[in-house]
Amino acid sequence: MGELAQDRDAGGRPQSAAPGPSTTENTDPEPLVPDYTGACISNVVPTLLGDHAAWPEWFPTEAADAPQVLLLVLDGLGWDQLVARRHLAPTLSAMAGGPILTVAPSTTSTAMTSLTTGTTPGEHGVVGYRVAVDGAVLNVLRWSIDGRDVRASLPPEKFQPYAPFADQRVPAVTRADFRQSGFTEVHLEGVRFHGYRVTSTLVVEASRLLRAGEPFVYAYYEGIDKVAHEFGLGEHYEAEVAYADRLVADLAAAVPAGTTIVVTADHGQVHVGDDLIAPHREVLDQVSFQSGEGRFRWLHARPGRAGALLDAASAHHGELDWVASRDRVLDEGWLGPVVTEAARNRLGDVALVARRPIAFQDPDDSGPFELVSRHGSLTGAEMRVPLLALRT
């Protein structure tokens, strides 16, 4: 990577070497909790759009005082995965910058809302991809409960009250078929939406807006995450990383001279395959329902059984994975220093958080195919994401 990538860690501190690729071994003794006041994706947009007496040391200086900025989010491109494949990504590898941390849980719905709004999960309340709401479970990405669209009964703008991009109506270049989604309303409400249907037109739309004089353009590309979920971190993933690198190169060639391209991501990935684990029967005996995701599973206790649930989960899962009570999650600041009452009410009683490359099963959490690679936990492979910059 560039100079900053070699010399700084996820908190902006000097380091002797960049972190290596993720492995199937458990190398994280404790959850990697973000510093929500520093090198975290929740602070990327406020830094780019704000006025600063001093530029943060964790942010590439190529973006300081840039006349025009293109912020590109490559969904699912973790720092560890990128470092392991730098030979496939010459453009990204030549950019300045290094790793920062995403938010907890390390999942798209939570991370993208923190990125665009500049707030923590405890503030915006999108505390997972499947969130408990009055005893039901909301699928945030589909904005549905039990397969039913609930935008009328649960308006996204009331569920998440913070405006994106400091309430500036910036242009956002993203997939055209996302325009009407509930999740778009949650994290992109009020932007000037520019949809693309094939990736070449992402380049056209972003460069056209910058040539027209826009000072800040946001763009989102989801291909890396989709490929990782369906195919894992093998040859399909490597082909997609190389493709995404060419996308950045195409953007650099198309935007006006002097534009700074800033690249980041919402989370990394862990290759899980078919290593799916059901919570122990004695744990499930105490559970009313589950929310969250496979690598950050919230267990909601039966009435009066929260203590017994924590004891059972600790006994059966605490040796190999992280078991955290809701109080621990809050006290240790996993969701940020401030957690609203609304956000608190959406949490379960106990979190099962995977340290190993496994996922915790929930029969109600299913999709069109089994996910081969996953994310959501607080391991380094999932939490570290790139923050890279290039001045054209």
Q: What is the pLDDT of residues 147-157, one digit of tens each?
A: 999 999 999 98
Q: Please enumerate in sequence order all residues whose Cβ is within 8 A of that of 184, keeping only pairs 6 or more positions apart, or say none.
A: 174, 178, 193
Residue with the two structure tokens 């009331």: 158
> Tell me, what's the pLDDT at 17?
32
> Tell me, what's the pLDDT at 52?
75
> Tell me, what's the pLDDT at 27?
66
For the ranges 7-21, 155-169, 197-211, the lowest mean pLDDT is seen at 7-21
Separation of alpha carbons 52 and 43, rounded Å: 13
Domain 3-271+377-391 has CATH 3.40.720.10: yes
Q: Which CATH architecture has domain 276-373?
A: 2-Layer Sandwich (3.30)
> Quick one: which of 160, 83, 151, 63 has its CA closest to 115?
160
Q: Which pLDDT band holds residue 175 (cuts at 50, 70, 90)?
A: very high
Separation of alpha carbons 388 and 213, rounded Å: 23
Is the pLDDT score of 7 beyond 70? no
Which tokens hold the place of 319? 């040796």
> Quick one: which of 4, 22, 16 has its CA closest to 78?
22
Q: Are 225 and 76 in contact (CB under 8 A)?
A: yes
Q: Please enumerate in sequence order all residues whose Cβ is within 8 A of that of 330, keeping only pairs 6 or more positions apart, or say none.
A: 122, 339, 344
What residue spans define the domains of the chain?
Answer: 3-271+377-391, 276-373
Q: Which pLDDT band holds residue 51 (cuts at 50, 70, 90)?
A: confident
How does pLDDT run across 69-121, given as a tens digit for each residue? 999 999 999 999 999 999 999 999 999 999 999 999 999 999 999 999 999 99
pTM given for the model:
0.93
How does pLDDT run across 303-360, given as a tens digit for each residue? 999 999 999 999 999 999 999 999 999 999 999 999 999 999 999 999 999 999 999 9
How does pLDDT run across 260-295, given as a tens digit for each residue? 999 999 999 999 999 999 999 999 999 999 999 999
- Strand, coil or helix: what is 21? coil
> Tell me, what's the pLDDT at 366?
72
